[in-house]
Amino acid sequence: MANKICYIVGSGVFDGRNFAPRTADFIIAADGGYRYLERMDIMPDLIMGDFDSLGKIPNHPNVITHPTEKDDTDLMLAVKYAMEHGFKIFCIFGCMGGRTDMSIATMQTLCYILNNGCTGYVFGENSVVTGVHNGQMFFGTGRSGTISVFAYGGKAEGVNIKGLRYTMEDGTIESDMPIGVSNEFVGTPASVSVKKGTLIITLTNAGFRREFFGRH
């Protein structure tokens, strides 16, 4: 499963941009995300959730139904299922915008992905959110747009930011200090790394490319 990507579509804001699964990839519709895929004439490999958003249990050969009262969100359940089946790279759509609490829950799910040694990308209307835990992420030449770096879940130590407009060497970013906001690509190779802690990284769509999936 190392090179295969698990695509998860939720019932939040989703306009279809950047959604480009390949034949070998795995698509999960999380509850109301199935409605988006139906409109796009895309058949998911699995549909799962409590179906409070969709309002019905869909007619599909692979459906997993969960109770409405549960500890995990539909997104988290989808992520855990995919991890149990060997997936390491996640592209998440339709899980930002709308309810603020659910957007925060999505960020926590992203951290769960990172903390379990996997790679995650959350696609919003105008940006992509990813991150790194005790590791590094590289970006090739020719990128443009804005990139922001935030500590999540406590301080991030040993932070190195190279090849961007604003750099940092062996620095510390606190979770209550947004010092890494609104950095910029300058067209040269760049990298963001952290020795201890978790960094959340946001990119404008101009800065995102499929080619760096899993490059940590």
Q: What is the pLDDT along the chain (216 residues), one digit of tens a residue?
A: 557 899 999 988 888 888 889 989 999 999 888 889 999 999 999 999 888 877 788 788 888 888 777 888 889 999 999 999 999 999 999 998 778 888 899 999 999 999 999 999 999 888 899 999 999 999 988 888 999 999 998 999 999 999 999 999 999 999 999 999 999 999 999 999 999 999 999 998 655 555 555 444
**Whether 170 and 203 share a structural domain:** yes
Residue 125 CB neighbours (<10 A): 12
**Whether 121 and 136 share a structural domain:** no
Residue tagged 């790194």 (tokens): 132
Supply the range of the domain harboring residue 199.
Answer: 132-212
**Whether 50 and 100 share a structural domain:** yes
Domain boundary among 65, 94, 125: 125
**Whether 112 and 141 share a structural domain:** no
Sheet containing strand 136-139, strands side by side: 136-139, 190-193, 156-162, 168-173
**Whether 114 and 26 share a structural domain:** yes
Which residues make Cβ contacts (< 8 Å) with residue 98, sequence separation at least 6? 12, 13
